[in-house]
Amino acid sequence: GVKATITHRRSQRTSLAISFTSEHDRSAIANDVLTDLKLRNDLIALGLDPTTGEQNGTLNAISFDVQHATADNILDPGRGYQISLHAEQAGRFLPGTFEYFAVSADARHYLPIGDKVVLASRVQIGSIDAPANDPRSVPFSKKYFLGGATSVRGWGRYEISPRSGSGLPLGGSSRLAFSEELRARLRGNFGGVLF
């Protein structure tokens, strides 16, 4: 596949990007791997569909992204905010196997409390709309999963999503996640987080 992106940096804090993606995905999972539940998270991370054991199709999509940040430090922010918006259209006027419209947003806010404590808030929201709610119109790699160290802590990676009759995560077509962290700098570069 191929992905081409044009980015326009309106200022040091704001950027706009438009991308075109064209890729053909073909995956098949051997039955012995498919039934090994210990490998399920690895399959999901690779974008392979452990529910059907295969995926075959062409994805042609155009996407638009906007990012704006006022955070004082990208790696360890102590004040300010970051907002990312993403919209993606596959199929419709672009030929291919998959057809969907997806929109998502990620907003983060950093509020200093004294010199050594920061309250970090995050909201993630997203939705994928497919024609007639046909799950085959959306590639498995685009489904939403929550859980893990960078998502909803206290849950394992990919554990939060709609589930099959046997209780296995299937991935969802929408997501809403809200998290709060209290970050404290204890000594030098050593800190603690309450989430």
Q: State residue 135's pLDDT score.
A: 66
The span from the CA of 43 to the CA of 33, in Å, is 9
Question: For residue 166, is pLDDT > 80?
Answer: no
Question: For residue 11, is pLDDT > 90?
Answer: yes
Q: State residue 146's pLDDT score.
A: 87
Higher model confidence: residue 109 or residue 149? Answer: 109
Question: For residue 122, is pLDDT > 70?
Answer: yes
User: Mean of the per-residue pLDDT values for the chain?
Assistant: 88
Average pLDDT over residues 5-21: 95
Higher model confidence: residue 169 or residue 12? Answer: 12
SS in 3 state form for 59-106? EEEEEEEEEEECCCCCCCCCCEEEEEEEEEEECCCCCCCCCEEEEEEE
Question: For residue 133, is pLDDT > 70?
Answer: no
Q: Per mean pLDDT, which of 41-45, 65-69, 97-101, 137-141 is the most reliable?
A: 65-69
Question: For residue 3, is pLDDT > 80?
Answer: yes
The span from the CA of 121 to the CA of 109, in Å, is 5
- DSSP string of 101-140? EEEEEEEEEEEEETTTEEEEEEEEEEEEE-GGG-GGGS-G
Q: State residue 22's pLDDT score.
A: 95
Q: State residue 136's pLDDT score.
A: 78
End-to-end CA distance of the chain: 39
